[in-house]
Amino acid sequence: MVTKQQIIQAEDTFLSGENFYVQHFLGAHQTKDGYVFRVWAPHAQQVWLVGDFNQWDDSLPLQKRQQSGVWEIETDIPQEGQLYKFKVKQADGRTVLKIDPFAIHFEARPGTAAVLHTVPVKKWRDGLWQGRKKRQKTLNRPLNIYEVHASSWKQHDDGTPYHFSDLKDELIPYVKEMGYTHIQFMPLMEHPLGASWGYQLTGYFALSAYFGTPEEFQDFVEACHLENIGVLVDWVPGHFCVNDDGLAYYDGTPTFEYSEEQRAKNRRWGAINFDLGKPQVQSFLISSALFWIEFFHIDGIRVDAVSNMIYRDMDEGPWEPNHEGGNRNLEGYYFMQKLNAVVKLAHPAVLMIAEESTSETKITGMIEEGALGFDYKWNMGWMNDVLRFYEMDPIFRKDHLSLLSFSFMYRMQENYILPLSHDEVVHGKKSLMNKMWGDRYKQFAQLRNLYTYMMMHPGKKLLFMGSEWGQYLEWKYDHGLEWRDLSDDLNGKMQVFTRTLNQLYKEERALWELDDQESSLAVIDADNLDETTLTFMRQGKTKKDFVLIVLNLTPVERHDFAIGVPYAGTYREILNTEHEQFGGTWIANNADQESEAVPFKQYDHQIKTILPALGALIIKPEKIKLTRKRATPNKQTI
């Protein structure tokens, strides 16, 4: 039984921006005799509870709590499963039907009413996963993310989307077989238009009815954890949907949004920006984040469009500087720090990931040192540079090799995730496979080369669904993936290659064990412009634990190709992207190579091998002598 004092405390902390479980105060809640409904509309003239239980009329007026501007009513008329909204007479006298911002379930589209829905308390069975997650430091563990749009991964024969009960049966086994460590979903919260991909939200506490029920998603996450797969979810705290029945100008005045129209209006995305400095909005958003973490046991949140929240000049049109004369959105900057501080205090092992495209603000790292406190940042610069390079005719690549090697220079500035995401396979950008230069055979060869480069590069990984087998068509949000592609030999072998590469990534500790340390990478040769090759090494904790990576970025096979090695001994090729099982023409890997005492740049020894056209090799030491005389390093250009 909730006491009067508890209600007053919830109200006070909501107003001060310190109520991080405000959904227990606002929204609809069962009582001994029925339901209590509360909604924040401080400047409304009147609010009514309407629904199919009272023919949507004005028979159930709410009473205003003067201190907070919260309206409330307790009634035994509505029943479980019935639809409801709030009818709000706004400050200017206009009457609008509004959603409950704290509803946990809505009716299916195109309807927008909330559903009275009580989710039974779940007895979770993922204790082993949760305990292991708390003990392990993700910076020094493999993190390989499969990005998914839930309603277009697969669809039923009649075109209806899979619910999470379907995805539990099919997506989880597939992700496990493919060797990914985590699934990341594009936004799952309630949104009225599928064409927004979920980034124009209305219900911040509700799984979209388009994907099923809250219970189905809970069961899905639990099933993932039982298979040692983590679940991450996109979340949009910067802006929200403009629809009149949603959060927009809820009581007829700026409520969730900035009071200045210029700052409230998000022209680029046709949305409305949250006022991130308003205490009540901070309570609302942080409560939403914690709700998804705790109610659904998700393992991380990817925060969308961070740049739009921390800078004033990211949108189209005029902007005004802050009181210090700069372009930083101070409200957004401090809100990001507060969000991360609260989440990490409550759940240190939960991953906070920023989608952020600038370099002016430190995104990952300690808040006390001025960073925003995220665990990881999407490396958008890397993604843009790399795709630009692989789309290029190889004849020009020798003059642009730095597009691949430049990221080696700044890799320690942040904790990065390397994303090949949904944004790169829509709007006429073409699929990843179809971006590659040349005929279809060469396109697949280069896609294997690209994925090898990504998986061997320091940082965590993300690949959008369908890219693992080289889907030819762009992604369509309202269609399932082109699974029929897998009947084609090259697509099928591309899928085998991605699965093999994912497994190799998990097995080779040198690829993730020291990801946050400078010593994890050594550039062997970034100067071979004429042959347009790139050679580097990933290092694990022990001297003998390293792998060599060689990329051939032209369609010319290289014989007697020299590779500098740190120790004398025998070296074995463990992956050749041009092997026939992956879609290439090689029937066997190169033979083991014995090093020669011939200097190569900073190394005293080298091996020689055959480097396939448009191919990549991964090589490991087989038997080596762990002593070496360091030669004077030659200066390299990167």
What is the per-residue pLDDT across 480-516, written as a single tens digit (0 to 9) for each? 999 999 999 999 999 999 999 999 999 999 999 999 9
Cα 150 to Cα 206: distance, rounded to the nearest angstrom = 15
110-119, 270-279, 310-319, 451-460: which range is least confident on average? 310-319
Tally of CB atoms within 10 A around 263: 18
pLDDT in the model for residue 165:
96
Coil/strand/helix, residue 364: strand
115-129, 459-473, 617-631: which range is least confident on average? 617-631
- Statement: residue 618 has pLDDT above 70: yes
Structural contact between residues 496 and 581, judged by C-beta atoms closer than 8 angstroms = yes
- Statement: residue 176 has pLDDT above 60: yes
pLDDT in the model for residue 4:
86
Fold (CATH) for 140-462: TIM Barrel (3.20.20)
The active-site residue out of 222, 275, 304, 515 is 304
End-to-end CA distance of the chain: 66
pLDDT in the model for residue 627:
72
How distant is the alpha carbon of residue 155 from its chain centre? 22
Structure tokens at 398: 């020798």
Structural contact between residues 390 and 319, judged by C-beta atoms closer than 8 angstroms = no
When pLDDT is averaged across residues 299-314 and rounded to a whole number, the result is 96
Cα 174 to Cα 158: distance, rounded to the nearest angstrom = 22
Ranges in the chain annotated CATH 2.60.40.10: 4-115
638 closest CA partner among 458, 361, 406, 415 = 406
Structural contact between residues 464 and 475, judged by C-beta atoms closer than 8 angstroms = yes
The active-site residue out of 355, 375, 414, 573 is 355
129-138, 143-152, 559-568: which range is least confident on average? 129-138
What is the per-residue pLDDT across 506-545, written as a single tens digit (0 to 9) for each? 999 999 999 999 999 999 999 999 999 999 999 999 999 9
Tally of CB atoms within 10 A around 293: 18
pLDDT in the model for residue 1:
59
How far CA 386 is from CA of 159, 208, 360, 405, 617, in Å, comes to: 35, 35, 21, 10, 18
Mean pLDDT estimate for the chain: 95
Q: Greater confidence, 456 or 358?
A: 456
Work out the angle between the directed axes of helices 489-507 and 440-456 (0-180°, nearest 10).
10
Catalytic annotation present for 52 = no
pLDDT in the model for residue 638:
43
575 closest CA partner among 481, 490, 511 = 511
Burial class of residue 399 in the structure, from the number of CB atoms within 10 Å of its CB (0-12 exposed, 13-18 middle, 19+ buried): exposed
- Statement: residue 10 has pLDDT above 90: yes
How many residues are listed for the chain in this entry? Answer: 638
pLDDT in the model for residue 637:
41
Coil/strand/helix, residue 388: helix
What is the per-residue pLDDT across 386-437, written as a single tens digit (0 to 9) for each? 999 999 999 999 999 999 999 999 999 999 999 999 999 999 999 999 999 9
Confidence grade of residue 626 (pLDDT, cut at 50, 70, 90): confident
The per-residue DSSP string of 80-112 comes to TT-EEEEEEE-TTS-EEEE--TT-S-BPPTT--
Give the count of alpha carbons within 13 A of 38, CB side only: 18
Cα 263 to Cα 93: distance, rounded to the nearest angstrom = 25
pLDDT in the model for residue 254:
98
Q: Greater confidence, 374 or 138?
A: 374
Ranges in the chain annotated CATH 3.20.20.80: 140-462
- Statement: residue 273 has pLDDT above 50: yes
Coil/strand/helix, residue 210: helix
4-115: CATH class: mainly beta
Cα 269 to Cα 435: distance, rounded to the nearest angstrom = 26
How far CA 502 is from CA of 2, 548, 549, in Å, comes to: 50, 17, 15
Coil/strand/helix, residue 331: helix
211-225, 308-322, 621-635: which range is least confident on average? 621-635
| Identity of the residue numbered 503 | Q
Ranges in the chain annotated CATH 2.60.40.1180: 518-624
Cα 27 to Cα 255: distance, rounded to the nearest angstrom = 16
Confidence grade of residue 341 (pLDDT, cut at 50, 70, 90): very high
63-67, 226-230, 533-537, 609-613: which range is least confident on average? 63-67
Catalytic annotation present for 424 = no
Structural contact between residues 11 and 20, judged by C-beta atoms closer than 8 angstroms = no
Structure tokens at 402: 């730095």
Report the share of the chain in percent with pLDDT over 90.
Answer: 95
Structural contact between residues 73 and 63, judged by C-beta atoms closer than 8 angstroms = yes
Structural contact between residues 586 and 612, judged by C-beta atoms closer than 8 angstroms = yes
322 closest CA partner among 276, 287, 279, 356 = 276
pLDDT in the model for residue 67:
85
When pLDDT is averaged across residues 44-60 and rounded to a whole number, the result is 97
Fold (CATH) for 518-624: Immunoglobulin-like (2.60.40)
Structural contact between residues 375 and 339, judged by C-beta atoms closer than 8 angstroms = no
The per-residue DSSP string of 508-536 comes to -GGGTTTTTSGGGEEEEES--TTTTEEEE
Peptide bond into 599 cis (omega under 30): no
Confidence grade of residue 633 (pLDDT, cut at 50, 70, 90): very low
pLDDT in the model for residue 635:
47
Structural contact between residues 601 and 611, judged by C-beta atoms closer than 8 angstroms = no
Structural contact between residues 446 and 387, judged by C-beta atoms closer than 8 angstroms = no
Work out the angle between the directed axes of helices 164-178 and 214-226 (0-180°, nearest 10).
20
